[in-house]
Amino acid sequence: MDFVTQHPVLVVSLIKIAIALFVVMTALAYLTWFERKVVARIQSRWGPYWVGPHGLLQPLADGIKFLFKEDVIPPAADKVTYLLAPFLALALALTTLALIPIGPATISILGQPTQLVISHSPVGLILLFAISSIGVYGVALAGWSSNSKYPLLGGLRSSAQMISYEVSLTLSVVGVLLIAGSLDFYNIVGGQSGHWWHFLPKWHVFPQFLGFICYLTAAIAETNRVPFDLPEAETELVAGFHTEYSSFKFAMFFMAEYGNMITVSCLATLLFLGGWLSPFPETGAWRWQLYLPAAGLIIGGIALIIGGLRSVQWNAKAVFPVLGIICIGVGYLCTWQSVMPVIQGPFWFIAKVFFLLFFYVWARGTLPRFRYDQLMAFGWKFLLPLALINLVGTSLVEVLRLPR
């Protein structure tokens, strides 16, 4: 215990990192399941169904499969760089999450008061952009080091795409910074509290709608997702930059992609959608909103029990009611006076991030892929001017609003 008392901040940070890593890894795994289910629903299919009830164990099965596949390293590959690339991609994708706060509450771990964020920095936003900007190395190096045609072309494409869209992504956020006047996530979200005309929340998405659209588009391109997934266009490039990767190294690229999706969704939530703030006013008449997390969990639990009992799959009959009872139990826990205020922030934050992730999947199920020249023209000739117009307009309004 000596070490704990001597370095309380370090130990608490390590505990928080362990919890966050566990939660994020599980979320990553089930995001793939969620995506396959939603895309299947859009295309009138069932999606994963047979591994576990409703395919719920599919991510686990995929993980085991990746672990036991043969790990092929091409003989012509540049060994060190080839091995470095997937680690770089995944590590950077997960590191960015350390800067994202999920709630305003202060909790106590080992008697040490601490915030709901791993690393609170006064320049959090720029640090986050800095870390995610070196994420492109994973993709570029994977393409180069494989020493093969398709990965090289895929790596080149994706580097060019990520460099191009990073400009629009960063510029679209500057408008929010001008209004918030801070690079600290806590200040940025704090500035979005309150309501216009008593009903419209003061989220930045309303005055910065143009910026929000720019951000969302650039973010989809930045994470190499449909309709901007040119780096891995199957019909042209086999699988793009990760063609030569197999086994768990391929899985690491896969996880990095989903990790980046979560990061940009969290960032959009913090910057534009009011972060952990509830959309309802905080006045006395709206006190019932404090029970929303508990109500959601309990209703979800009841639905799970009923759905499980009516299912034709025998394992769903066994597993879903148990999950439902756990849900109801956690929901009851959320009504405790000590837990309720802490749970509000994370509840709204996760709900908004979830909505954005659904939007991502929805876009993938709906939109066709761009052609490469269309992609470049769209980024430089449409998105960048739009972001610039938004920036100039916002600065003008902010200058006019300054007290003289």
Partner 1 sequence: MSVAMLVFFACGVMAVLGAIGLILAREPVHSALSLVLVMVALAVLYLLLGAAFIAAIQILVYAGAVMVLFIFVIMLLNAGVEVRTNLSRLARWVGIPLAIVFLVEMAYAMSREYGARTAMAAGGAAAGPVPASTQALSMKLFTEFVLPFELTSILILIAILGALVLAKKEA
Residues binding partner 1 (CB under 8 A): 7, 10, 78, 80-81, 121-123, 126-127, 129-131, 133-134, 136-137, 140-141, 143-145, 152, 155-156, 159-160, 163, 166, 183
3-state secondary structure of 397: helix
| Least distance in angstroms from the C-beta of 78 to partner 1 | 7
| Least distance in angstroms from the C-beta of 131 to partner 1 | 7
- In the complex with partner 1, the residue whose CB is nearer, 133 or 311, is 133
- CB-based contact 298:326 (threshold 8 Å): no
| Least distance in angstroms from the C-beta of 379 to partner 1 | 15
- The residue type at 265: S
- In the complex with partner 1, the residue whose CB is nearer, 64 or 392, is 392
- In the complex with partner 1, the residue whose CB is nearer, 163 or 318, is 163
- In the complex with partner 1, the residue whose CB is nearer, 36 or 157, is 157
Report the alpha-carbon distance of residue 71 to residue 62 in Å, rounded: 15
| Least distance in angstroms from the C-beta of 303 to partner 1 | 45
Report the alpha-carbon distance of residue 384 to residue 172 in Å, rounded: 9
CA nearest to 353, candidates 259, 289, 287, 280 = 259
Sign for the pseudo-dihedral over CA of 44, 47, 52, 54 = negative
| Least distance in angstroms from the C-beta of 258 to partner 1 | 21
Report the alpha-carbon distance of residue 89 to residue 136 in Å, rounded: 8
Within 8 A by CB and 6+ apart from 273, the residues are 203, 205, 352, 356
Report the alpha-carbon distance of residue 204 to residue 263 in Å, rounded: 18
Name the H helices within 181-310. 185-190, 209-222, 234-237, 247-271, 292-310
User: DSSP code of 54?
Assistant: G
Report the alpha-carbon distance of residue 167 to residue 376 in Å, rounded: 12
| Least distance in angstroms from the C-beta of 273 to partner 1 | 24
- In the complex with partner 1, the residue whose CB is nearer, 10 or 76, is 10
- In the complex with partner 1, the residue whose CB is nearer, 54 or 157, is 157
| Least distance in angstroms from the C-beta of 218 to partner 1 | 15
- In the complex with partner 1, the residue whose CB is nearer, 32 or 145, is 145
- CB-based contact 286:277 (threshold 8 Å): no
3-state secondary structure of 276: coil
- In the complex with partner 1, the residue whose CB is nearer, 126 or 363, is 126
Report the alpha-carbon distance of residue 393 to residue 386 in Å, rounded: 11
| Least distance in angstroms from the C-beta of 175 to partner 1 | 17
Within 8 A by CB and 6+ apart from 354, the residues are none
Over its C-alpha atoms, the chain yields an Rg (Å, rounded) of: 23
| Least distance in angstroms from the C-beta of 154 to partner 1 | 11
Rounded alpha-carbon distances, angstroms, from residue 90 to 59, 96, 132: 18, 10, 11
- In the complex with partner 1, the residue whose CB is nearer, 156 or 333, is 156
